Every structure is written in structure tokens, then in C-alpha cells.
């Protein structure tokens, strides 16, 4: 007897439909044949399936069982096929009525006792199920039900065991679909544990952080150890606009696929913040492996990626950031296929001004020679620095500010300015793919960043004295446009241009 079920496997962060065909026919020797490019996790499922059938009160057929996973040329590498394969065997052997088999897709890993275990990528699978014609819903492990229920256009049926799934598909048991609770989850999880009011002093640095957040500009901070660079970076997400539902689902998909969703939290409601160690590899940063999986830059999608002690990173590892910083996505090519992952983030970086960290610090003496400083700074390539819009100095905080100074500007106050500037940009770029000033194309820069005579003279002098590239020229104009938006000015004023030029610290010859 032949049985067919629909399920999904993961390819990158996308779920690909898979049809499970199970044929149970009389044979002299009981045998199970699994075909359709199953990877190790799927091949090993035969043993889990056999014990789950027996321990759930069903009978393992003493016949020849052929299981085909179609399409045959797509590698299947997820344990989430367990439940579909098992239900196919039960239907093919006549132990399960197929009243609802054609209406529901099935995903889930099985334990030996027949209970279901959570699987990665449940949200992507629910999205894929909603796009398939003829599917009424999807059966998922109970632990994944809330995550999958984010998709409100498909019924999400939570099942805790093989027996429960079989009873539901046979029409013997009715299970209420898990309702979506987006508003409740956003209210519950959209909270940050840090605030900019914790940062004493550094008001000038906070101004640069507001500009970076308002226009989605990349930011690099230079200063001695302990000056507050990491504190500023950690609090950047707190002043960004709230995640929209679409952004939240897009980011949650990535975390779901790599298994990084917190238990009990089906949805990301805050902007992601990622800060990998400087020993990270190239695949760990941008993604890779076989099949390719997302890296840190994709986990920072719609949020912030912070690289502390930037010169300590491997130079080759940093160089792979060039293309994602420009395009907002990364494409990983392998022999078996190509995967594209979203990587639209604000890039934050911090470094010391010299190897010892105390150059230009009035409190400590620096013993680094000029050649040592040059070698230290040369670990970061010019093309990468060119892609960073804002370079600022973060000096040490005086004792008076730490002990008696007033509390720092709060995240709520800073966010008001950011949201107001983002609203102006939203109106400016209505009808285009651009959303923020930092994403403007060269044509849009010429259209929206026109300067008066005084501003043109400032730019001309900066280009001549600093030796700026064409990319740096456009970066300055984009930052100046954001500063004007924050100031409520329709036109870019000379003061805006001057401030933007001052944020190009690493373009100057400061180290010799």
C-alpha cells in the first residue's frame, strides 16, 4: 500500500517542500530502504522510527518498506522528517486512516518513546506551508507551536506524540490550532535591560551614535581602554525604532534555523545585537558550511554587529565584510548550490589608538613607537575603513563626570530624535527601495544632498586635504543629510557638512 505525506527540509533559511512516499509491500525478509539523498541525520531516523512505532502501541510492519523523499536530487538533512516518515509507514501498513493526510503537512523529530522533540526552522516551514495550495495546516511539535503560529494564514496543530498525531490525522481527535499572539509577545519581550542613561559623560559620542542610528550609518570608535566604547555599542539597539512585525519575522526565521531562539520566546521583539570574539573564522562571520548556514552578520540582521578590538581580528576575516556592508545581504556559493542570507545591519567597531591603548591619553604615558602604531593600524584595510561612515574619538571620562555628574541622556530621549529623523526619511524615499540616508544610491545622493557655495567649498577642501575617495565623499554627504534631518532642516547647511567631515577621523594623518 502506498502513502504520501508532505513535509519540509531546510535549505539555508528557507524551507523546501518534500513529499514523503512510503510503499509497504510483502517481502520474504523485513527490510527498510530509504532513498532520495538522505543525509546522516535522516538515515539514522530508521532506528528512532522503529522504536517510536513499537513504544507507541503500533506494530512495525514485517514487510519490505521503501521510503522515497522527493525531489530526489535535493539533500535532506533534518531530523524533522521523523514524524512524516513514521506516519507514512503507519498509513502504508493500514494502521492509520488517511482522512486528513492530504490536508496537513507534518514536521517533527521523534524520541524513542514516541514523543515529539522541537525542530529547527519551524517558522520557515510554516511560511512555506502557507504558500502551498491545498494545505490546510501543519502539524508541529508542541514546543514549536507558538513559533510557527506567528504565520496566521495556516492552521498550526501542536502535537506532543506520535499517537496524538496519528489520532488527529485519522479524524479520531480534534486539536485546536495554536492562535497567534503577536501583540502579547511584543508587549512581553520588547524590553531592553540596558539604557544610555548608564553612560556618564561622552555626550559628544552619544551625538554620533544618534546620527548613526538615525541614518543607519556604520560607526567606528577610537579610544583608550575603559572609555565606554563597548557600553555605547551595547546600547545602540535601545534607540533604534521598534521592530516591525515583518522585520521581526524575518530576523526570527534566522534565529530559528540555527536554533538560537530562547526557550519560551517564539518571536524576537528587540533589535539583535551580536558581538563575536576576535578569533571568529570567516564562515562563522559571514556564513558557510555544507550546506551553507547563516553567520554572525545574518544573526545581526535588522540590528547591530559590534566588532571590539578591531585590529585583533584576522585581516582576511574582516575583508569578507566588504560586500555585505554595501549590499545588505551575503551570497554563499558551494558545489551543491548557492544560498543568499540577509545581512542588513549597522556595523559598529571599536579599537584602541595604539597597541598599548593610551596614545593621547593625558593620564597615562604611551610607549608605542610610530612604526608600532602604523603596523597596528595597517591591520585594518583602507577599503574597509572607507565603508564606515562615522569615525569618532571616545576619550577617557574625567572622575568628576563619573562621581558627581548628572545621569547621562536616556535612551528614550535619544530615540525620539532618531524616530523623528527616520520619519522624515520615510517620506523622502516613499516609493523606492531605500529606507534610510545611509542606503542612498549615488543618484539619490546627488538628488537629496545638494550643497550651497559654502558647503561646496568645505567639501572641496576636505577632498583635497584628506585625500578622500569618491565613496568617502558620498558618505560625508549622507551623514550631513542625516544631521540636517535631526536638526529639522530641509537643506544641508554648511555646519552640517563641517560636522560630517569631522567624523572622518581615520582619514587624517593622526598617527605620525
Least confident of 155-169, 227-241, 294-308, 452-466: 452-466
Q: Give the 3-state secondary structure of 113-129.
A: CCEEECCCCHHHHHHHH
* Whole-angstrom distance, CA of residue 8 vs CA of residue 334: 21
In this predicted structure, what is the pLDDT of residue 512? 41
In this predicted structure, what is the pLDDT of residue 290? 78
* Whole-angstrom distance, CA of residue 67 vs CA of residue 445: 58
* Upstream peptide bond of 291 is cis (omega within 30 degrees of 0): yes
Query: Per-residue pLDDT for 510 more than 70?
Result: no
Please tell me the pTM assigned to this model.
Answer: 0.92
Using alpha carbons, select from 496, 478, 482, 466 the residue that is nearest to residue 382.
466
User: Alpha helices of 301-369 — where are they, by DSSP H?
Assistant: 315-319, 322-327
In this predicted structure, what is the pLDDT of residue 462? 87
* Whole-angstrom distance, CA of residue 282 vs CA of residue 220: 21
Average pLDDT over residues 127-152: 95
Query: Per-residue pLDDT for 216 more than 90?
Result: yes
Q: Work out the pLDDT band at 405, boundaries 50, 70, 90.
A: low
* Upstream peptide bond of 71 is cis (omega within 30 degrees of 0): yes
Element (H, E) at 486: helix 470-486
Query: Per-residue pLDDT for 407 more than 80?
Result: no
Contact 437, 405 (CB under 8 A): no
Query: Per-residue pLDDT for 202 more than 90?
Result: no
pLDDT digits (tens, 9 = 90+) for 84-126: 999 999 999 999 987 789 999 999 999 999 999 999 999 999 9
- For the chain, the average pLDDT equals 92
Query: Per-residue pLDDT for 69 more than 90?
Result: yes
Using alpha carbons, select from 169, 170, 142 the residue that is nearest to residue 156.
142
In this predicted structure, what is the pLDDT of residue 343? 96
Query: Per-residue pLDDT for 500 more than 60?
Result: yes
Q: Work out the pLDDT band at 396, boundaries 50, 70, 90.
A: confident
pLDDT digits (tens, 9 = 90+) for 10-27: 998 999 999 999 999 987
Contact 273, 304 (CB under 8 A): yes
Residues 6+ apart with CB under 8 A from 99: 169, 170, 171
* Whole-angstrom distance, CA of residue 361 vs CA of residue 242: 38
Amino acid at each position: 500500500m502506498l502513502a504520501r505525506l508532505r513535509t519540509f527540509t531546510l535549505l539555508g533559511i528557507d524551507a523546501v517542500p518534500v513529499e514523503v512516499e512510503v510503499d509497504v509491500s510483502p517481502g520474504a525478509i523485513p527490510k527498510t530502504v530509504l532513498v532520495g539523498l538522505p543525509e546522516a541525520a535522516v538515515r539514522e531516523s530508521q532506528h528512532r522510527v522503529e522504536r517510536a512505532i513499537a513504544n507507541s502501541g503500533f506494530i512495525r510492519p514485517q514487510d519490505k518498506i521503501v521510503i522515497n523523499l522527493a525531489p530526489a536530487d535535493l539533500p535532506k538533512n533534518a531530523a524533522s522528517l521523523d514524524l512524516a516518515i513514521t506516519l507514512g509507514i503507519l498509513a502504508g501498513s493500514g494502521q492509520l486512516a488517511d482522512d486528513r493526510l492530504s490536508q496537513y503537512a507534518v514536521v517533527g523529530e521523534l524520541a524513542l518513546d514516541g514523543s515529539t522533540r522541537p525542530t529547527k526552522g519551524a517558522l520557515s516551514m510554516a511560511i512555506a506551508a502557507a504558500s502551498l495550495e491545498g494545505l490546510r495546516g501543519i502539524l508541529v511539535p508542541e514546543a514549536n507551536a507558538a513559533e510557527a503560529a506567528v504565520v496566521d494564514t495556516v492552521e498550526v496543530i501542536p502535537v506532543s506524540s506520535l499517537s496524538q498525531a496519528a489520532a488527529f490525522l485519522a479524524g479520531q481527535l480534534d486539536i485546536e490550532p495554536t492562535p497567534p499572539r503577536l501583540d502579547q509577545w511584543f508587549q512581553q519581550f520588547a524590553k531592553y535591560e540596558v539604557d544610555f542613561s548608564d553612560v556618564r559623560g561622552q555626550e559628544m559620542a552619544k551625538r554620533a551614535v544618534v546620527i548613526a542610528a538615525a541614518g543607519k550609518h556604520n560607526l567606528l570608535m577610537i579610544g583608550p581602554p575603559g572609555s565606554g566604547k563597548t557600553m555605547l555599542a551595547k546600547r545602540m539597539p535601545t534607540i533604534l525604532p521598534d521592530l516591525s512585525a515583518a522585520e521581526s519575522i524575518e530576523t526570527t526565521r534566522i534565529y530559528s534555523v540555527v536554533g538560537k531562539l530562547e526557550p519560551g520566546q517564539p518571536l524576537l521583539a528587540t533589535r539583535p545585537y551580536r558581538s563575536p570574539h576576535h578569533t571568529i573564522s570567516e564562515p562563522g562571520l559571514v556564513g558557510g558550511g555544507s550546506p551553507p548556514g547563516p553567520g554572525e552578520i545574518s544573526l545581526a540582521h535588522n540590528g547591530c554587529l559590534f566588532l571590539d578590538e578591531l585590529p585583533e581580528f584576522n585581516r582576511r576575516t574582516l575583508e569578507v565584510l566588504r560586500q555585505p556592508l554595501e549590499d545588505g545581504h551575503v551570497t554563499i556559493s558551494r558545489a551543491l548550490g548557492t544560498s543568499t542570507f540577509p545581512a542588513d545591519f549597522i556595523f559598529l567597531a571599536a579599537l584602541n589608538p595604539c597597541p598599548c591603548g593610551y596614545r593621547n591619553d593625558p593620564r597615562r604615558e604611551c610607549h608605542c613607537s610610530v612604526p608600532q602604531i602604523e603596523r597596528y593600524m595597517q591591520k585594518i584595510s583602507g577599503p574597509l575603513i572607507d565603508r564606515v561612515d562615522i569615525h569618532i574619538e571616545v576619550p577617557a571620562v574625567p572622575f568628576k563626570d563619573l562621581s558627581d555628574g548628572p545621569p547621562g541622556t536616556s535612551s528614550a530621549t535619544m530615540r525620539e530624535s532618531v524616530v523623528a529623523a527616520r520619519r522624515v526619511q520615510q517620506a523622502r524615499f516613499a516609493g523606492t527601495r531605500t529606507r534610510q540616508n545611509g542606503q542612498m544610491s549615488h543618484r539619490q545622493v546627488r538628488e537629496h544632498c545638494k550643497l550651497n557655495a559654502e558647503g561646496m567649498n568645505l567639501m572641496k577642501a576636505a577632498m583635497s586635504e584628506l585625500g578622500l575617495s569618491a565613496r568617502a565623499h558620498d558618505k560625508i554627504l549622507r551623514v550631513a543629510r542625516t544631521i540636517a534631518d535631526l536638526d529639522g532642516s530641509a537643506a544641508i547647511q554648511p555646519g552640517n557638512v563641517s560636522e560630517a567631515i569631522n567624523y572622518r577621523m581615520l582619514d587624517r594623518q593622526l598617527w605620525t
